[in-house]
Amino acid sequence: MHKKIRVLVTDDHLLMRQGVCRILEKEDDMECVAVAEDGEQAIKLAKELTPDIVILDVAMPKMNGIQVIEAMKTTCPEVAILVLSAYNYGHYVRACTHAGADGYLLKNNIRGKKLQNAIHMILDGESVFDREVTNRVYTIPSFTKDTEIVGSTALSNRELEVLKLTAEGKSNKQIALELSITEQTAATHLGNIMRKLGVSTRIKAALLAVREGLVITDSNCKDRVIEG
């Protein structure tokens, strides 16, 4: 009997963890050895269990996916990593690949045997990326193949909230009121966002966010940013 491929599934949504495990358990040569609901737990389990591959979400509590990838590549470099995300954002894809991910698939596009085939290909030494992902990354002028994006560029959930409100044309004071934080904290978040995105103004950050799909706004929100 052939040795089964041991998979660690990491996602902060219970239904997603269960769904992925069900898909894998249908395969004779795969088994879900453990599940993790946040980044810290994923790193701990990866070190303890040394699975063949970790399936990992990008946006998670405690540690985001990029930080987890960097940590795993240091503590257990022999473990392969496949990102399974809802985010088709060039910014995240580039950050994940730079951190050391072996593949990046979209959650809404794993019909049939796509996930299982991707696992086999990665363990055979190949890199696997969803076609929609590669098309998006390499057609965005700000993120060409020569652009380096380190793992620290991943935006936290709070930073994404601040960025969304910025893209809606809100001032630091308005953002502070809406998020129940101080105006200084809002300004600090925005400064960190601009540094991570490599832009010099809040308007450039907002426009990049809308173009990249980092935030979703209605059409007149974008107009307000341009006019501001």
Instruction: Tell me which residue has tokens 């990029």.
Output: 66
Question: What is the number of other CB atoms lying within 10 angstroms of the CB of residue 165?
Answer: 23
SS3 state of residue 5: strand
Q: What is the mean pLDDT of the chain?
A: 82
Cβ(123)–Cβ(5) below 8 Å:
yes
Question: What is the number of other CB atoms lying within 10 angstroms of the CB of residue 185?
Answer: 16
pLDDT tens digits, 19-63: 999 999 999 999 999 999 999 999 999 999 999 999 999 888 888
Domains of the chain with bracketed CATH: 5-137 (3.40.50.2300), 156-227 (1.10.10.10)
pLDDT tens digits, 116-175: 999 999 998 888 888 777 665 544 434 333 333 333 356 777 888 898 888 888 889 999
Question: What is the number of other CB atoms lying within 10 angstroms of the CB of residue 127?
Answer: 12
Q: Read off the pLDDT band of 110 (50, 70, 90).
A: confident
Structure confidence at residue 82 (pLDDT): 96
